[in-house]
Structure 1
């Protein structure tokens, strides 16, 4: 289990250079409490070695899977990777939990371009990056909304005193490649080469297949898929040349499994997923990171609009899932980006869906890969 200094305050752990046995106890107890609540089985903590940065959790063998799942989900959801080593002793099981020393990637002084950045998840990502000293360029259609958000971001940057700057560009991302390339060039002239591209723009149009007009499929493909392809094409050459960069695709659960009423939207998200996985392999030799986030139902303006036209069948399906804040989604993404992870799946259901639908997607974690195989 890993906690870097920048995240101590969030969990009430003292901000200091060493990770003590008390810190370890707080972190493990918090993980099990948050994920399992009152359903948590009995467990005990073994000694924590501050030099080797290793501790242990002892549970009944019958509760191994439950505790393992809770610690793993907590590690993924809150951005704390967990290294678990399992030993069985009679009817007891012991988890050895180690804390890696790898330093997370920094966003300070970088330039991020975010499509659909004027509201919802895009805006939340912009706020998270500005707080970390990363300048942002926002692209959307509504000039008034863009100006309002940029003003908020620049005030935040001044408060943080980190030198970050926010700019905006009014553009329809379903425009031609040449139009989007021109916007990218303008942004780079203002704030320098783009180090981080967040392909966030997208919207779901739903309905039973025979009731959806064929034009909807064309519109959805242009907005949810081709806009990301065009934006990526506009930045990838410079990233490869500098051997540095991050390209993020904001996907959906509809890009992990088929969902009734999403024949148009789901098809675009599966296309986006396939594109991202292939691009990941192509860019590996150039040190350009590709990442995909699969947000759950998120309380955004776009989601509220979707509900208004959502068929009853889809409302029943969607109603079984929880509703997350865009700020939570953004923070989970930033934590995973800083660790170089390809996937960002949020919450217990998101974790389970990520494992079940992994396919050939890249996975850095041995534990995650093992779970996907099993």
Structure 2
């Protein structure tokens, strides 16, 4: 049986590490209240955005939702009113248009919590994908987020200064913004870019008491998911699966809790948490306990990541081998039929 002194020596390095982490982790922990504050959710007419708006309204926030289609925005407002008894403001704008975004936000009250939830996904191999589709994803997913933050930030800073309460900018990325997958080249590029934006922006606005949250949802049961699955290359279906990983409301709950606690990264399920540890890099961290877990887990998760890559490359190799075999069989059958004729 181990002696108490031996256990003390065994645990001492971990205790020292925790004390060091408690002193150095930045930014410091923060709570971001929602009640009575203005929460603006983009992509708020359906899916995760609508679920976020519903939850924020239920918690007493003054909610605005922004999307392109006025009729769908009206339907979303009616659904929120029916579910919560709360009326929300609706803003119609295409996030690709910086002037339209600026006009919409200029007509609204100053924002306390900005949730950049909009996004589009058109899966296809890059060689086969049109540059118009690539540009569409980059302009909506990445540039649209820049347009919103640029339009909202000056008033957000002033609002945080006058109220003394922290503001928040939440950015909806994707697990495809943490790891590249076959068929996701353009989409992943647009979502990976959001991470760089979030990390740099947190440095720029921390002195203004504004805090960034980066959400990495998995496949989520939204109106666009079924259509997305129809477009996915067969290899992507083998690697990424073909079923929705989470319900929109479950993602919204995780995201909103992360926003309120000022988490820099929000992982929405267990697989997402493992992926977060594997890709943590130089991301900010408010919790010394989470930093402790990251330090201990990152090496193991690198091994797990290599196992995943082995599985994915094996699937790709088998698919191409099967495709070549099927093509050869078809050619031989054609030649045989021609010879008989």
1:292 aligns with 2:209: no
TM superposition shift of 1:320: 7.7
Closer, same or farther: CA 361–268 of 1 in aligned 2, 3 Å: same
Which residue number in structure 2 is paired with residue 216 of structure 1?
A: 133
TM superposition shift of 1:234: 0.6
Q: For each residue in 1:42-68, what CA deviation from the matched residue of structure 2 results, as whole angstroms up to 9, or x when unmatched?
A: xxxxxxxxxxxxxxxxxxx9xxxxxxx
SS at structure 1 position matched to 2:140: helix
1:143-158 aligned at under 5 Å gives the runs 143-158=70-85
Residue segments in structure 2 that go unaligned for 5+ positions in a row: 11-28, 161-165, 297-341
Determine if contact 2:222/2:248 at 8 Å carries over to the other structure.
yes
Once residues 88 and 315 of structure 1 are traced to their aligned partners in structure 2, the CA distance between those partners, rounded to angstroms, is 49
1:334 aligns with 2:260: no
Which residue number in structure 1 is paired with residue 68 of structure 2?
A: 141
Determine if contact 1:246/1:288 at 8 Å carries over to the other structure.
yes
Which residue number in structure 1 is paired with residue 45 of structure 2?
A: 118
TM superposition shift of 1:139: 1.3
Determine if contact 2:126/2:183 at 8 Å carries over to the other structure.
yes
Q: Using structure 1 for the length normalisation, give the TM-score.
A: 0.68
Once residues 207 and 100 of structure 2 are traced to their aligned partners in structure 1, the CA distance between those partners, rounded to angstroms, is 29
Q: Using structure 2 for the length normalisation, give the TM-score.
A: 0.74
Counting matched residue pairs gives 272
Name the structure with the higher strand share: 1
Which residue number in structure 1 is paired with residue 106 of structure 2?
A: 185
Once residues 171 and 245 of structure 1 are traced to their aligned partners in structure 2, the CA distance between those partners, rounded to angstroms, is 23
Residue segments in structure 1 that go unaligned for 5+ positions in a row: 1-60, 62-86, 92-101, 159-163
Name the structure with the higher helix share: 2
Once residues 255 and 351 of structure 1 are traced to their aligned partners in structure 2, the CA distance between those partners, rounded to angstroms, is 14
Runs of 4+ in 1 over 3 A off after TM superposition: 87-91, 102-105
Alignment RMSD: 2.5
Which residue number in structure 1 is paired with residue 114 of structure 2?
A: 197
Determine if contact 2:221/2:244 at 8 Å carries over to the other structure.
no
